[in-house]
């Protein structure tokens, strides 16, 4: 008989328990390794970000368009866009709406401005070409030339940078003004202006802090030839008659102002004091918008003190005067008055009238009349800026398009009187639509104490009396 195989078969141990154990261990170990690697990656990113943030000596926190910024600097013409009463000075915010306007030249100007600043100020500690960067300027590199006036935090000076003789405006925070409120407002102004970079705006070049003297200094750009008001007065004495080149130059100046104001509007800022005295100009007629005229004693009569605030009533929109509403449209009104100043060669708006009288005249819609020899199409733009309803006024983007058209026509037309832009009469809507008439006014010069003496017209230009103008006869044709 055959032997039984039951005892000859060797049983091998099963591998299933060991394989299951390995799978369990791997399912625990692999996620732990992945989590550990992820944590290392996050730590490295945070460390790298912190290192980059310390590359600049002055750290910055960008102001987003959608953020709200309380600006209690009541005398600063640059402020967040607001719709509020002028007496509610502690509740001004930037609206949380993004701007719909966009231009091709804004980013180009921004980059050009930063590159020029880097080239012109090699000794300034300028660490990055970013919009929010801020420079620290050594005190030994600043030369004080002339006192311009007294600001909210200290004296304001005309100066220059010693290393390259570039002109600048110096705003100081001095010991006697260094209350906590002034310190906060001073810091807020720095925080606002560090985000403003445009070739046609007097930008903040940097700051200088001297702890031992308890003084802080802000350095702004300045041009060589004073302000636009002074330039226009000087130009009015060098010519006897209106010339075609005046129109070309005035259009060039106006386009630059519009360019700077488009940038401010995109940033949701309102200037609130747009006038010829706040436009810096160079010998080549390059301009920069500034905000220091209110601190200069020579322009005291341009401001009227209401509720402890100095207001430029001759340039203010009707809604700003009556309701305290400020917006891009109120700056549009001021730009219309600025245009009138340009084509009047620096004459003070409503000259010969006191500030309270000016307020009543604006309330009664007695507006400025067309300056002598001003092109009718330019005056039509002025009147569109003075529309009583702000939504009927053009935006700065629309004004840029119009002035580009004017510039092209001025370049192609001959300088003869018969073909110049001055004599091109606009074609209004002569249909059955009835539009109301309104009064425009320029008073003759008087000895009123409110008259700015250096702005009275020369004997060669007599101001017209109050007249009634038909709006159809001056309407701009697109």
Q: Bridge-partner residues for 440, per DSSP?
A: 367, 467
Structure tokens at 363: 């309330």
Active site residue 273: yes
CA distances from 200 to 156, 261, 267, 273, 453 (A): 21, 9, 14, 16, 29
Phi-psi region of 365 (alpha: psi -120 to 50; beta: other; left: phi over 0): left
CB 439 within 8 A of CB 364: yes
What is the phi/psi pair of residue 381, to 5°?
-65, -45
Q: Bridge-partner residues for 157, per DSSP?
A: 147, 170
> In terms of DSSP bridges, do strands 142-150 and 155-161 run parallel, antiparallel, or are they unpaired?
antiparallel
Given the residues 152, 227, 246, 273, the one annotated as active site: 273
Phi-psi region of 86 (alpha: psi -120 to 50; beta: other; left: phi over 0): alpha
Q: Could you give the 3-state DSSP secondary structure of residue 171?
A: strand
CA distances from 451 to 12, 292, 445 (A): 116, 20, 8
In what side-by-side order are the strands of the sheet with 204-210? 142-150, 155-161, 167-173, 215-221, 204-210
279, 277, 171: which is closest to 223 by C-alpha?
279
Catalytic residue annotation: 273
């Amino acid at each position: 008989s055959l032997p039984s195989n039951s005892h000859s078969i060797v049983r091998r141990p099963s591998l299933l328990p060991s394989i299951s154990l390995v799978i369990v261990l791997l399912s625990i170990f692999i996620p732990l390794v992945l989590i550990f690697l992820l944590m290392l990656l996050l730590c490295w990113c945070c460390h790298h970000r912190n290192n980059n943030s310390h590359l600049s000596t002055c750290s910055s926190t960008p102001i987003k368009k959608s953020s709200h910024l309380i600006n209690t600097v009541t005398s600063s013409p640059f402020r967040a866009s607001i719709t509020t009463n002028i007496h509610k000075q502690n509740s001004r915010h930037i609206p949380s709406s993004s701007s719909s306007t966009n231009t091709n030249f804004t980013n180009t100007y921004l980059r050009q401005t930063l590159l020029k600043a880097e080239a012109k100020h090699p000794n300034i500690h300028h660490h990055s070409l970013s919009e929010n960067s801020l420079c620290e300027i050594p005190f030994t590199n600043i030369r004080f030339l002339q006192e311009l006036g007294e600001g909210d935090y200290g004296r304001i000076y005309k100066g220059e940078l010693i290393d390259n003789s570039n002109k600048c405006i110096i705003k100081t925070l001095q010991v006697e003004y260094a209350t906590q409120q002034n310190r906060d407002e001073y810091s807020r102004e720095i925080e606002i202006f560090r985000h403003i970079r445009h070739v046609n705006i007097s930008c903040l070049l940097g700051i200088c802090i001297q702890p031992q003297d308890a003084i802080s200094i802000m350095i702004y750009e300045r041009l060589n030839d004073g302000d636009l008001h002074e330039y226009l007065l000087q130009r009015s004495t060098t010519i006897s008659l209106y010339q075609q080149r005046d129109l070309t130059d005035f259009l060039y100046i106006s386009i630059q102002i519009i360019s700077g104001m488009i940038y401010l509007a995109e940033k949701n800022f309102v200037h609130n004091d747009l006038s010829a005295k706040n436009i810096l100009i160079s010998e080549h007629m390059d301009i920069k918008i500034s905000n220091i005229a209110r601190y200069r004693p020579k322009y005291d009569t341009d401001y009227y003190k209401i509720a402890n605030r100095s207001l430029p009533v001759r340039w203010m929109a009707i809604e700003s005067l009556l309701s305290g509403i400020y917006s891009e449209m109120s700056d549009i009104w001021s730009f219309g008055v600025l245009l009138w100043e340009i084509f009047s060669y620096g004459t003070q708006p409503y000259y010969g009238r006191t500030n309270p009288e000016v307020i009543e005249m604006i309330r009664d819609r007695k507006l400025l009349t067309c300056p002598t020899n001003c092109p009718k199409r330019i005056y039509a733009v002025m009147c569109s800026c003075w529309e009583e309803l702000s939504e009927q006024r053009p935006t700065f983007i629309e004004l840029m398009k119009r002035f580009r058209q004017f510039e092209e026509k001025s370049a192609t037309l001959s300088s003869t009187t018969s073909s110049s832009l001055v004599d091109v009469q606009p074609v209004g809507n002569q249909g059955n639509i009835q539009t109301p008439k309104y009064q425009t006014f320029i008073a003759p010069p008087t000895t009123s104490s409110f008259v700015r003496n250096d702005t009275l017209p020369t004997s060669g230009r007599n101001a017209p009396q109050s007249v009634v103008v038909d709006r159809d006869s001056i309407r701009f044709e697109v």
